[in-house]
Amino acid sequence: MSDFDASAECVALLKRLIAFDTTSERSNLPLIHFVRDFLAEQGIEATLIPSACGEKANLYATIGPLDRPGIMLSGHTDTVPVTGQTWSSDPYCLTARGQRLYGRGTADMKGFLAAVLAAVPAMAHAELTAPIHLAFSHDEEVGCVGVRSLLAAMQRYRVRPAACVVGEPTSMRLATAHKGKLAGRIEVKGKACHSGLAPEGINAIQQAAPLIQWFADTAAVKAEFGPFDTRFAIPYTTLQLGIITGGTALNIVPAQCRFDFEVRNVPDEDPDRLLAPLEAEVSRLDTDLRARHPEAGATLTWLGDYPGLAMAEQGELVDVILALLADPGRERIGFGTEAGLFQQELGIPTLVCGPGSMAQGHQPDEYVTREQLGRCEAFLARLTEALGDPGAVARLDRACAAQAPAVP
């Protein structure tokens, strides 16, 4: 039996959060308004940063003194869809079976949001020497795009957080690094004709083939020569093609071939530099094809990107957080988060730690355990206590200053 168990308040809040269908294609405003009103009941004012379309928003709030940096707790409100998945229960109705709490987003990452909200009353009544900031974003699941407007707003803030904890599911073990991601699409247009007259057409699939081979060749080079980062289970940059379409019938020379690709780069590798030869090759092919036929060509479109996270594994800030976690364990995460953006765009030293496991995230019958939520609540209680201790805050400020990254 574990010594940790989720509070009734945390489970009730998780139930409310799960009931909001915040799939990335939908609005997150009902959930954001619920959080705003919940905070208002505790005397905490929240700022909403709307999306360009006005149908979504980020939320930012500060608990405690406004003139000190403090710690930011960050999480995204959107979830992946349940389309095509077979669930044993309603994914938008929290279902308890033993220690497990099932529902879409329980692990990724409404469990963390629920634990934070459950801790808010204690935070609001604490005599905090340094503040706790809450940052809840939208559209993380589609490339960390929603948080960009929050970052822009925070650039203008006179006082920014000294450090950030992103509560993605790590089984409440500390993660100091994750890979970056860059995704793109290449489309090659040729000239269709009957396959019996193949030389009179331009086969878009054949024209695309060298570009496709480039990914396989480059991936092999990365696997052999790196650069390497042993913090990751796969310690080098990976490249892969995820979707490819082309052609209409076997007896028609294909006029179109399109494929989507992604790069998952270790923090020390610049994906733009890595892909520069590919961009040059696409440009060369485009020029060649347009010379052969006015409607032919090749294009490269970027679909999204976010940077990797690269915090030192050793240091006073890491020691402080590990002490609050009461767990010296580390986690290697193979997925991306918003942490690298906070680190690189705002210069805020950022760590990743939250309840649940990504092994359950995005899956049918997604769940988080009561024990994991309880561990998160215990961490938040210790954090609140530490931020009320002037000595602990002074140590935290020194630790954050020592590990603050340079902002380009």
194-227: pLDDT as tens digits:
999 999 999 999 999 999 999 999 999 999 999 9
| Overall CATH class of domain 8-177+308-403 | alpha beta
User: What does the block give as tokens for 143?
Assistant: 């490339």
Report the amino acid identity of residue 306.
Y
Per-residue pLDDT band for 400 (boundaries 50, 70, 90) equals confident
Residue partners of 304: CB distance under 8 A and separation at least 6: 142, 143, 144, 145, 181, 182, 183
Contacts of 123-126 spanning 24+ positions with Cβ under 8 A:
123/63, 123/64, 123/380, 123/384, 124/42, 124/43, 124/44, 124/63, 126/64, 126/384, 126/385, 126/387, 126/388
pLDDT at 38 over 90: yes
| Overall average pLDDT of the 18-40 stretch | 97
**Whole-number pLDDT of residue 405:** 65
Q: Please tell me which residue in 108, 140, 229, 338 is annotated as part of the active site.
A: 140
Contact (CB, 8 A) for 207 and 257: yes
Q: Please tell me which residue in 21, 78, 262, 377 is annotated as part of the active site.
A: 78
Contact (CB, 8 A) for 241 and 258: no
First to last CA, the chain: 48
405 DSSP 8-state letter? P
Contact (CB, 8 A) for 177 and 267: yes
Residues 91 and 11: their CA atoms lie apart, in Å, by: 15
In the annotation, is 281 catalytic?
no
Length of the chain (residues): 408
Q: What are 63's strand-pairing partners?
A: 132
Report the amino acid identity of residue 369.
T
| Overall average pLDDT of the 363-379 stretch | 97
Summarised one tens digit per residue, pLDDT across range 75-134 is: 999 999 999 999 999 999 999 999 999 999 999 999 999 999 999 999 999 999 999 999
Give the dihedral of Cα atoms 32, 37, 41, 43; nearest 10 deg: 70
Domain made up of 182-304: CATH architecture:
2-Layer Sandwich (3.30)
Give the dihedral of Cα atoms 151, 305, 85, 368; nearest 10 deg: -50
**Whole-number pLDDT of residue 152:** 95
pLDDT at 2 over 70: no
Summarised one tens digit per residue, pLDDT across range 253-284 is: 999 999 999 999 998 899 999 999 999 999 99
Least trusted range by pLDDT, from 63-67, 71-75, 323-327: 323-327
3-state secondary structure of 273: helix
| Overall average pLDDT of the 322-342 stretch | 88
Summarised one tens digit per residue, pLDDT across range 293-306 is: 999 999 999 998 99
Residues 114 and 342: their CA atoms lie apart, in Å, by: 22
User: What does the block give as tokens for 380?
Assistant: 């938040």
**Whole-number pLDDT of residue 408:** 44
Per-residue pLDDT band for 329 (boundaries 50, 70, 90) equals confident
Contact (CB, 8 A) for 176 and 350: no
Q: What is the mean pLDDT of the chain?
A: 94
In the annotation, is 78 catalytic?
yes
Domain boundaries, the chain: 8-177+308-403, 182-304
Report the amino acid identity of residue 394.
A
User: What does the block give as tokens for 364?
Assistant: 């049918």
